[in-house]
């Protein structure tokens, strides 16, 4: 999709889904965003948090009484999720997502699948943690004993440094080597991968640092 065809463009867009979230969480994460877009039923979650969605996107199977002045992108396609629809009609340097983790496991797996097919950085957040796809090079500072986890959604080569159980150019895959239940040593966490497919899971409190690191990582990849 070209820039002219996007319905929403901002530096940081918060996408709000209909999955588990709280008004407090939405308000806290919205501070990091420049615009808010609701994925179908996520409109009510945004409304309850006092967050103004500039656009509601989806097949509208959960919404029947939206305000008359609410901008809506009704996409009837049943082959994609409302989360994917939001990513298709919006453009941002980074997306944040609330209401896409927890709840129905199949919905959460669908969200992870969407992350793997998305070239732009996306960070999904819940009350306790956050998850994102690691860019080719990623580094950030973490306090000692910070819990971190890494899960390969596809076969991938990866190196992990600055963690209790490091890896060096390891062949990772869902049916082989994974790196969950790890922890930071304190100082710089460094990750390198040979392609998209490695999910990183960190505490929500590290969101600001993750966003800065993703800006470096994806920016470098786009200019290579």
Tell me what pLDDT residue 3 has: 58
> Do 106 and 129 meet the contact criterion of CB atoms below 8 Å apart?
no
Q: Where are the domains of the chain?
A: 3-127, 137-222
Tell me what pLDDT residue 180 has: 93
Task: Tell me the per-residue pLDDT of 63-94, one tens digit each, with 9 for 90 and over.
Answer: 667 777 788 888 887 888 999 999 999 999 99
Task: Tell me the pairing of strands 55-58 and 72-74.
Answer: parallel
| Long-range contacts of the stretch 33-39 (C-beta < 8 A, 24+) | 33/96, 34/10, 35/8, 35/10, 35/92, 37/8, 37/13, 37/86, 37/90, 39/15, 39/82, 39/83, 39/85, 39/86, 39/99, 39/100
Tell me what pLDDT residue 188 has: 97
Residues with Cβ within 8 Å of 159's Cβ and at least 6 positions away in sequence, in order, are 166, 167, 168, 169, 170, 190, 191, 192, 193
Tell me what pLDDT residue 89 has: 93
Tell me what pLDDT residue 53 has: 93
**Domain 137-222 belongs to what topology?**
Rossmann fold (3.40.50)
CA angle 140–144–146, rounded 5-degree value: 75
The reply to whether 137-222 shares the fold of 3-127 is yes
- CATH superfamily of domain region 3-127: Thiamin pyrophosphokinase, catalytic domain (3.40.50.10240)
Ranges of the chain with pLDDT below 70: 1-4, 61-64, 219-224
Tell me what pLDDT residue 64 has: 65
In angstroms, rounded to a whole number, what is the distance separating the alpha carbons of residues 51 and 36?
8
């Amino acid at each position: 999709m070209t820039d002219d065809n996007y319905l929403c463009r901002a530096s940081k867009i918060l996408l709000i889904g209909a999955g588990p979230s709280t008004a407090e969480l939405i308000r806290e994460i919205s501070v990091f965003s420049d615009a808010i877009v609701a994925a179908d039923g996520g409109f009510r979650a945004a409304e309850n948090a006092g967050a103004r969605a500039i656009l509601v996107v989806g097949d509208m199977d959960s919404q029947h009484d939206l305000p008359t002045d609410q901008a809506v992108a009704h996409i009837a396609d049943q082959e994609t999720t409302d989360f994917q629809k939001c990513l298709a009609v919006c453009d941002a340097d980074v997306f944040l997502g609330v209401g896409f983790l927890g709840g129905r496991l199949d919905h959460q797996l669908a969200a992870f699948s969407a992350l793997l097919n998305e070239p732009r950085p996306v960070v999904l957040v819940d009350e306790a943690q956050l998850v994102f796809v690691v860019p080719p090079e990623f580094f950030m500072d973490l306090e000692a004993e910070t819990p971190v986890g890494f899960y390969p959604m596809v076969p991938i080569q990866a190196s992990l440094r600055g963690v209790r159980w490091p890896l060096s150019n390891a062949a990772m895959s869902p049916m082989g080597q994974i790196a969950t239940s790890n922890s930071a040593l304190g100082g710089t966490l460094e990750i390198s991968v040979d392609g998209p497919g490695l999910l990183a899971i960190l505490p929500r409190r590290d969101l600001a640092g993750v966003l800065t690191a993703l800006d470096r990582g994806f920016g470098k990849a786009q200019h290579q």
